[in-house]
Amino acid sequence: MIETMKIGDERRYKRTITTEDIRLFGQVTEDMNPAHFDAAYAAKTPFKKPIVHGMLVGALFSRIFGLEYPGEGTIYCGQTLKFRKPVYPDTELEVRVRLIDLNIERNRVTFLTEVYDHAGDCVLTGEATLMPPRATS
């Protein structure tokens, strides 16, 4: 609940996106771009091999916000994303969020959202604005 949150609060977890995850995401979104699925096609791109959908990486914050912090009842209001490096299938990622703004009157919180690869490089950064649940009276 927003009343218990404080600037600087952090959460993180590790996740590896598999080729099966990519296949399912492609089916759900109907984004079957060969850059994600076709090794011969991807070899001709600057990435040299298939890459994970950027929006799949960006969706990884949802686990924290919807289930852990702020948790159940949280509403996602907005998200900015900057894709800094490609993510390849089967790369271990660390998903991190840190509370950077708290507005109790408006019932809004803003988080710095980042994803790092196994080498410690930031592959995605942005900010999320959320409406967390309030304490019931």
For residue 19, give every residue at least 6 positions away whose Cβ sits within 8 Å of its Cβ, in sequence order, or none: 89, 90
User: How many Å apart are CA 86 and CA 93, to the nearest integer?
Assistant: 12
Which residues does 137 contact at the CB level (< 8 Å), separation at least 6?
none
| Encoded tokens for 20 | 């099966």
Q: What is the pLDDT of residues 51-74, one digit of tens each?
A: 999 999 999 999 999 999 999 999
Under the banding of pLDDT at 50, 70 and 90, the label for residue 137 is very low
Please state the rounded mean pLDDT for residues 19-27: 97
Mean of pLDDT values over 21-28: 97
Which residue in the block uniquely carries the two structure tokens 């009276």? 137
Q: How many angstroms separate the CA atoms of 56 and 30, rounded?
A: 13
Could you give the domains of the chain? Answer: 9-131 (3.10.129.10)
**Digit-coded pLDDT (tens) for 92-102:** 999 999 999 99
Would the pLDDT of 42 be above 80? yes
Tokens found for residue 61: 């914050």
Q: Rounded to whole angstroms, what are the CA distances from 62 to 20, 78, 113?
A: 19, 12, 11
